[in-house]
Structure 1
Amino acid sequence: MEEQRTYFVCGGGHQGLAMAAYLSLNGEKVTLWNRTREHIKDVINDGTIHCLGEIEGIAKIEKASDIIEEVISDYILVTVPSNAYADIAKKIAPYINKKTIIVLNPGRTFGAIHFAEELKKCGVKELPQIAETQTIVYTCRRSELNEVTIFAMKKDVKIAGLSNCNMHMVMDKMPASLKKYFLVDDSIMRISLSNVGMILHCAPVLMNIGWIENDKVAFKYYYDGISKTVAKYLEKMDGERLAVANKIGYSIETVADWLRRTYEITGDNLYECIKNNCAYKEIDAPPSLNSRYILEDVPNGLVPIEHIARELKVETPHITNIIELANAVYETDFRKSGRTFPLCIIKSYSEK
């Protein structure tokens, strides 16, 4: 009888706690790692995560640690922000081989390619099986150091692997309780171009800076922060994303269509879809501007889309405006730190 597989959840934030708790409560053996020990100290101390919402219970974790070699396994579920990929690749490089499975949850835009390139820099000769998801499976928030609420499970989350990746192996070894929420796609390019986070996250933060920095105000990110006017701007950004995909030869869905399909809701436009999504009712706005909604989604979402658009001679004025505003507000150059792979490199990883 085959020994039960252990799933290694890499990252102990909102998504990591949700992933670890969900798998454990569905009977899987799970280990958990986080770079900062303080953030998972309660899980380390008592070995449990309290889960609320769509699935409730006290999840038992086999081992939690801030030392990666203590908990790594041959099936790695990466849930850290994508701007931490270089660090994660460096940490796991000594322990992986071509049979190791790595699923990036999510990859954002060209995350799997970024991860593969970082592994190569670390001296990895044979790449493991690397796949990325379009978005995280859970709508979730961590409320305590060992407590997380799962507000909703997303339906038919798309997943694809690099050109060398055996997706049959990736999905065959994935737990049935998790696998049922994924829809396998044959193109890593289409998955990356379908990144909805960069549309839903960046502009609303920049358009609500006054409220986010006001300590006297707490508001719901989607319900309060995305007004009709903000939603219309997001639709214009979304149109530019679709134009880039179309130029390359891919037909992808709008964010509104993604919301309708994933959450099984109705709405004539993006604003109505957001308002009709009950899973978004309790999602708070970021407590500060030090948020992955900018620090991750601008350099690893909008920047690579704009970069490819320029190579293809596709105009993206609304996306460019948000990148420029983010650069000015944060006094940095997100283009310099972002993903700017040439299209030929992207295609080499994408085409089977």
Structure 2
Amino acid sequence: EQGGIQAEGALNGFFPLDCITQDIRLAVKGAEVILIVVPAFAHRQVAQSIAPYLREGQIIILNPGRTFGAVEVLKTIEETRHIRSLFVGEVQTLPFTARELEKHKVQIIKIKDSVNFSVYPIKHLNHVYDMIKGIYPQLNPIYNYLEVTLNNIGMILHPALSLFNASAIEFARQFEFYREGATPQVCKVLENIQFELNEIFKTLGIKQFRFNDWVEQVYGVINRSIYSAIHEIKAYRDLYAPEKLINRYFTEDVPTGLVPISSLATFLNVQTPTIDSIIHLSNILCGCNFSEKGRTIKKLGLVKFISQHLIHQGQRDPVLAGGNSKVLNE
């Protein structure tokens, strides 16, 4: 009705939109760049909806991709039709820390200083970056797709913090999700998740992940521990816990984050007991088998891609070495 979005905070003012529609065909028609800003569990559904109306040369950017989002979207579209030149990329995290206020109003808490992004396949990165750098100048192109898609910040923070604060959320107690929910002891669990991720990265031969380095890059905050970093991020202040226990911190970040990570670890024969425990407890808490419904490297057809990556890194191919039969046969 207003014809645009009213913003306050880091961006102030009214921003008109040329087209506001629920018609998917009309929304993608003539667009050079298509930004998909939905929870990652909806990526496949959105890809199925837009596939019939896409044209050659269009760029799709997932905001964010979570883990292997670009792969899932491209694979889903290709199941519907073949488009010779279609480019799909993903950002590591949302470029804005923001919250909806009411109807057409939004609060922009923080425009992040730098956000990593990549595309799948990686050969299209330069073309995509040239097209979108004017839209998102803070994007930092990374020439290793795995380095972006596996560094999924949401899966590190959200499920664990939600699990260890489940009773408070279930009883609808209002509290600051990060500043009160991320206690020193709970953050030890986050440190363990980070350690297990880095064991996977070590096997893959990709750059080690440090949450504190990410916080410095994105928010300009320098700290030595996950606990201190979380509590120094101004944009995390006054962000309250979800109002319902079963929320996207489970329904998004477990099946599109932790589950694909766990499937990758299994394929690589890397032990991830903390990650696997969080998946298991989330399954029980939410009454949903995220392990079965979530993304896996088998479902996404990534076994060959991962094997080729390992060979390129000078490591032995798990498939040729016998692999993990559970992953290869699932």
What's the TM-score once normalised by structure 2's chain length? 0.88
Is residue 2:188 matched to residue 1:238?
no
Deviations 1:280-322 (A, max 9, x none): 0021211112321110100110011111111111110110110
Report matched runs for 1:141-156 at 5 Å: 141-156=99-114
Aligned letter for 1:58? Answer: F
Deviation at 1:173, TM superposition (A): 2.1
d(CA) in 1 for partners of 2:292, 2:111:
35
d(CA) in 2 for partners of 1:261, 1:336:
35
Deviations 1:160-192 (A, max 9, x none): 11126522332222252x432111001211111
Q: Which residue of 2 aligns with 1:89?
A: 47
Of 270, 285, 305, which aligns to 1:329? 285
Of 213, 222, 226, which aligns to 1:270? 226
Superposition CA RMSD, Å: 1.9
Deviation at 1:223, TM superposition (A): 0.8
Equivalent residues of 1:93, 1:124 under 8 A apart = no
Deviation at 1:260, TM superposition (A): 2.0
Equivalent residues of 1:171, 1:179 under 8 A apart = no
Deviation at 1:350, TM superposition (A): 7.6
Deviation at 1:340, TM superposition (A): 0.7
Deviation at 1:92, TM superposition (A): 0.9
Equivalent residues of 2:219, 2:233 under 8 A apart = yes
d(CA) in 1 for partners of 2:308, 2:15:
37
Q: Which residue of 2 aligns with 1:220?
A: 176
The count of aligned residue pairs is: 306
Is residue 2:172 matched to residue 1:172?
no
d(CA) in 1 for partners of 2:309, 2:266:
20
d(CA) in 1 for partners of 2:99, 2:110:
11
Equivalent residues of 1:187, 1:350 under 8 A apart = no
Deviation at 1:98, TM superposition (A): 3.5
Q: Which residue of 1 aligns with 2:321?
A: none
What's the TM-score once normalised by structure 1's chain length? 0.83
d(CA) in 2 for partners of 1:350, 1:75:
29
Q: Which residue of 1 aligns with 2:148?
A: 191
Of 174, 182, 207, which aligns to 2:164? 207
Of 303, 317, 336, which aligns to 2:259? 303
When residues 129 and 165 of structure 1 are mapped into structure 2, their CA distance, relative to the original with a 3 A threshold, is farther
Deviation at 1:140, TM superposition (A): 0.8
Q: Which residue of 2 aligns with 1:42?
A: none
Deviation at 1:341, TM superposition (A): 1.3
Deviation at 1:347, TM superposition (A): 3.5
Aligned letter for 2:93? Answer: T
Q: Which runs of 5+ in 1 are unaligned?
A: 1-44
Runs of 4+ in 1 over 6 A off after TM superposition: 348-352
Aligned letter for 2:230? Answer: I
Of 338, 341, 344, which aligns to 2:303? 344
Equivalent residues of 1:188, 1:350 under 8 A apart = no
Equivalent residues of 1:98, 1:129 under 8 A apart = no
When residues 54 and 348 of structure 1 are mapped into structure 2, their CA distance, relative to the original with a 3 A threshold, is farther
Deviations 1:123-154 (A, max 9, x none): 23425111111111111111111111111111
When residues 346 and 149 of structure 1 are mapped into structure 2, their CA distance, relative to the original with a 3 A threshold, is farther
Q: Which residue of 2 aligns with 1:114?
A: 72
d(CA) in 1 for partners of 2:53, 2:308:
23
Equivalent residues of 1:132, 1:188 under 8 A apart = no
d(CA) in 1 for partners of 2:176, 2:85:
41
Q: Secondary structure at the match of 1:285?
A: coil
Q: Secondary structure at the match of 1:307?
A: helix
When residues 163 and 99 of structure 1 are mapped into structure 2, their CA distance, relative to the original with a 3 A threshold, is same
Deviation at 1:49, TM superposition (A): 1.0
Equivalent residues of 1:303, 1:340 under 8 A apart = yes
Deviation at 1:87, TM superposition (A): 1.1
Deviation at 1:48, TM superposition (A): 1.9
Q: Which runs of 5+ in 2 are unaligned?
A: 313-330
d(CA) in 1 for partners of 2:110, 2:98:
7
Equivalent residues of 2:204, 2:309 under 8 A apart = no
Of 272, 286, 291, which aligns to 2:247? 291
Q: Secondary structure at the match of 1:332?
A: coil
Deviation at 1:84, TM superposition (A): 0.7
Equivalent residues of 1:155, 1:262 under 8 A apart = yes
Deviations 1:49-74 (A, max 9, x none): 11011011011111211111222223
Of 2, 12, 19, which aligns to 1:63? 19
When residues 164 and 204 of structure 1 are mapped into structure 2, their CA distance, relative to the original with a 3 A threshold, is closer
Q: Secondary structure at the match of 1:126?
A: coil
Q: Which residue of 1 aligns with 2:211?
A: 255
Deviation at 1:345, TM superposition (A): 4.1
